[in-house]
Amino acid sequence: MLSLGFDIGGTTVKAGVLDEELKLIVKESRETPKQDAEALCDMIKQMADELSGGAKEFRCIGVTVPGSVDKDGGIIDAWNIGLRNVPLKRMIESRIKAERVIVKNDADAACDAELHFGVLRGVKYGLMLTLGTGVGGSIIFDGKLFHGGREQGTELGHAMINRGGDLCGCGHRGCIETLCSASALKRLAQKACEEKRGMIWSLASNGADPDAKLLIDCAMQGDEYAQELFEGYTDVLADAIASFVNILDPEVIVIGGGVSGAGDFLLDKLRVKVPPRTFFGSCGRILKASAGNDAGVLGAVI
């Protein structure tokens, strides 16, 4: 029997069909319906039908959500897609026949993918930060994904780092997410455009999207202003990671999500900046997530 993984992001829903050995055999993306749980579940049902060629039953339907999930697979809060207090697992079970339906936090799914297929295999104490539209985070404790002391998940992106700072989507101020997400990099790129400065502005005026990727590309190509903005970004990110090191001191720190696409250009800076900012003067290994773009789809069904 086939399994299906759905990775619901702030912008797109990625779906994947997996065979008995959890190998990804078909993929597709669609736009995420916002603030409408019924429409989301209907789309999941439709994609399951189409991608599986009309299978009547599945081994597992796994769905990741960009927000907090309770132990019954209900969404507590996923402000990114405008859903709150939605019994998502039950709604999917009423539409699709499957041996197991799993609903989990997207960062947890990415972390599960690393634990099973990637750089967290065999790690006892680890931390993973997923730098995308928001900042997701997961904790590996005793070799297993930690779901929070009250089983509501962990929200590392909403640890406070900058008291009294910018308003976060969660309604509070100064969360790590406000400064370390891909959206924070995008705001920096937009600032460069407003100021009409550097390569970011000149490429954007020629039609390029002023987003995180453009900023990183310009910095990699040696543009001074883009490099300055990226240094500022990695300074905050290093502070955030150092803060987690002081709290948990993980053996391995994994960076995932869109921003991790910058690879060693990002990671080498963190490897230099994080250790002196910690209480201990050192930190565990800093690694890039290895499951890539399919992490959510793979991790959803584990």
The footprint of a copy of itself (CB under 8 A) covers: 68, 76-77, 124-126, 137, 139, 141-142, 148-150, 152-156, 158-165, 170, 172, 174, 236, 239-240, 242-244, 246-251, 277, 279-280, 284
Smallest distance, a copy of itself to C-beta of residue 267, A: 19
* 49 versus 151: smaller Cβ distance to a copy of itself: 151
Determine the distance from the C-alpha atom of residue 94 to the mean position of all C-alpha atoms in its chain, rounded to a whole number: 28
Smallest distance, a copy of itself to C-beta of residue 19, A: 35
* 55 versus 160: smaller Cβ distance to a copy of itself: 160
Q: Which two tokens stand for residue 251?
A: 């053996």
* 54 versus 164: smaller Cβ distance to a copy of itself: 164
Smallest distance, a copy of itself to C-beta of residue 268, A: 21
* 14 versus 273: smaller Cβ distance to a copy of itself: 273
* 165 versus 261: smaller Cβ distance to a copy of itself: 165
Edge-to-edge order in the sheet of strand 144-145? 144-145, 135-141, 126-131, 252-256, 285-288
* 56 versus 150: smaller Cβ distance to a copy of itself: 150
Smallest distance, a copy of itself to C-beta of residue 114, A: 16
Q: What is the rounded CA–CA span in Å between residue 94 and residue 115?
A: 30
* 32 versus 243: smaller Cβ distance to a copy of itself: 243
3-state SS assignment for residue 164:
coil
CB atoms under 10 Å from CB of 116, counted, come to 14
CB atoms under 10 Å from CB of 279, counted, come to 11
Q: What is the rounded CA–CA span in Å between residue 18 and residue 233?
A: 37
* C-beta separation of 15 from 4 below 8 A: yes
- Torsion, Cα of 236, 238, 240, 244 (10° steps): -170
Smallest distance, a copy of itself to C-beta of residue 255, A: 17
**Burial of 177 (C-beta count, 10 Å sphere; 0-12/13-18/19+):** buried
Q: What is the rounded CA–CA span in Å between residue 103 and residue 29?
A: 18
